[in-house]
């Protein structure tokens, strides 16, 4: 055995119990929120054939070009990838199980995603998303519903200071016209393009608009606008989404430069952004992807979805001074003596029957050291049992936040504890 200490893979984090409490609370809120809109849970594998992501996300995207954990299964030679996002897997599953056969689907999933990026605050190599996909819906109503859903979640979580950025990417023909004009435009400014942009000039010129290189901002700002190419139908769709948002008082900003990093989007795209997390300010992003189902081999079906970055959302909540989640333990049972020990485990079991969360002291020691452990456990009260108490089926109860220690019969114990929990 080597004595090099073993560490987690860089950019892949342990979530320790103190923080996991916040995750559990968040997951509860999110589940209630999703079920409030009729979304149903789906769980896909963490590993998929590499070809799925290449086909769905696009060969010339940051994700496929440089961020995927791809490998060959040494046992059978299959080309596999740790999922970098959920939409491709979700659509694959929906098609494989013929789920669009007779009804549209509202689906959600959550879990880890993997991207080989440079780790920094808000950017990790294993991170978590909650993803929402509505498949088989063509109209602007579902686009608006998903954006309204997000606004509700921010209210449920107490998140303020996030703004909604909105854009439309139009349909295939308009995008093709725009693409041709973009290539012509950037060809005229070849000397200003950086290496990334030159490489993408013919493969993915739309992505050049997303560049943060200051030297290119001027030619980007003056580049041909997709908005000028849009067909009436796409424009009306976009207007209809906006009309619903206005009716519901959802503020938004139209950002013509919002193009998203994945190839499958068309029409409505959006991002929720905060300025409070530094450069990694996008907490939620999504859009319409009407072409993807067909691209993955299904009968054409329109669709719309989004994903939130859980680490970034939780960082925002912590920055806001999240109220502490409720204690995880109600009762710590302290006991000393042979008879007391037997009685104590009966008491603990009966409290659990009454839905209380009980830690039974294990490992011996005097009352004083056991009480210290009770304190450290975060329990709301201690139940204290000595042999004399055990002999008469009674226990002592001490509120850990201060207050009288009282002696009660076993029959009145749950009520006594519940009163302390309520106070």
Residues 105-144 as b or e (16 or more Cβ within 10 Å = b): bbbbbbeebbbebebeebbbbbbbbbbbbbbbbeebebbb
DSSP label at residue 325: P
117 binds ligand ATP (CB under 6 A): yes
Q: Which residue is nearest to ligand ATP (CB)?
A: 309
Stretch that binds ligand ATP, among 176-184, 280-288, 343-351, 408-416 (CB under 6 A): 280-288
CB burial of residue 221 (10 Å; 0-12, 13-18, 19+): exposed
Stretch that binds ligand ATP, among 114-122, 170-178, 297-305, 366-374 (CB under 6 A): 114-122
Stretch that binds ligand ATP, among 99-107, 231-239, 305-313, 415-423 (CB under 6 A): 305-313
DSSP label at residue 227: G
**Is the separation of the CB atoms in 234 and 170 below 8 Å?**
yes
Least Å distance, CB 104 to ligand ATP, is: 23
Stretch that binds ligand ATP, among 45-53, 115-123, 221-229, 292-300 (CB under 6 A): 115-123
Half-sphere exposure for 118 (CA within 13 Å, toward CB): 1
Least Å distance, CB 282 to ligand ATP, is: 4
Among 129, 146, 168, 242, binds ligand ATP (CB under 6 A): 129
The count of residues interacting with ligand ATP (CB under 6 A) is 18
Report the C-alpha gap between 284 and 265 in whole angstroms.
Answer: 15
Structure token digits, residue 364: 């011996």
Among 307, 344, 380, 420, binds ligand ATP (CB under 6 A): 307
314 binds ligand ATP (CB under 6 A): no
- In the window 27-86, what residues touch ligand ATP (CB under 6 A)? 85
Quick note: the x/- pattern for ligand ATP over 248-267, rule CB under 6 A, is -------------x------
Backbone CA torsion sign across 409, 415, 417, 420: negative
Report the C-alpha gap between 305 and 289 in whole angstroms.
Answer: 8
Chain residues that interact with ligand ATP, rule: CB under 6 A: 85, 115, 117, 122-124, 127, 129, 261, 280, 282-285, 307, 309, 311-312
């Amino acid at each position: 055995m080597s004595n090099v200490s073993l560490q987690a893979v860089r950019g892949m984090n342990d979530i320790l119990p103190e923080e996991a409490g916040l995750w559990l609370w968040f997951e509860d809120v999110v589940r209630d929120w999703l079920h409030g809109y009729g979304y149903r849970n789906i769980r896909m594998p963490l590993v998929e054939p590499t070809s799925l992501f290449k086909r769905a996300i696009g060969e010339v995207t940051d994700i496929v070009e440089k961020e995927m954990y791809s490998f060959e299964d040494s046992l059978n030679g299959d080309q596999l990838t740790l999922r970098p996002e959920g939409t491709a897997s979700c659509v694959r599953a929906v098609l494989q199980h013929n789920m669009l056969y007779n009804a549209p689907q509202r689906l959600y999933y959550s879990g880890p995603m993997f991207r080989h990026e440079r780790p920094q605050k808000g950017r990790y190599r294993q991170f978590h998303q909650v993803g929402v996909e509505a498949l088989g819906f063509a109209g602007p109503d579902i686009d608006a519903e998903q954006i309204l859903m997000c606004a509700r979640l921010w209210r449920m979580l107490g998140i303020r200071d996030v703004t909604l950025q909105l854009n439309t990417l139009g349909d295939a023909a308009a995008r093709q016209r725009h693409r041709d004009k973009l290539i012509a435009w950037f060809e005229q400014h070849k000397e200003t393009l950086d290496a990334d942009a030159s490489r993408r000039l013919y493969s993915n010129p739309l992505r050049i608009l997303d560049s943060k290189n200051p030297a290119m901002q001027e030619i980007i700002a003056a580049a041909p606008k997709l908005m000028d190419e849009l067909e009436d139908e796409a424009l009306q769709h976009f207007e209809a989404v906006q009309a619903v948002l206005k009716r519901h008082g959802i503020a938004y900003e139209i950002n013509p430069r919002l193009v998203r990093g994945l190839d499958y989007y068309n029409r409505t795209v959006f991002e929720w952004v905060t300025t409070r997390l530094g450069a990694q300010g996008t907490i939620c992003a999504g859009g319409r992807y009407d072409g993807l189902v067909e691209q993955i081999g299904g009968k054409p079906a329109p669709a719309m979805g989004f994903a939130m970055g859980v680490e970034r959302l939780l960082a925002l909540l912590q920055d806001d001074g999240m109220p502490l989640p409720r204690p995880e333990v109600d009762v710590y049972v302290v006991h000393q003596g042979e008879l007391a020990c037997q009685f104590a485990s009966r008491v603990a079991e009966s409290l659990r029957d009454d839905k209380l969360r009980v830690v039974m002291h294990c490992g011996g020691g005097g009352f004083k050291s056991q009480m210290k452990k009770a304190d450290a456990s975060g329990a709301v009260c201690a139940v204290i049992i000595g042999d004399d108490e055990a002999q008469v089926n009674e226990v002592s109860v001490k509120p850990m936040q201060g207050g009288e220690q009282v002696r009660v019969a076993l029959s009145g114990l749950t009520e006594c504890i519940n009163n302390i929990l309520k106070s």
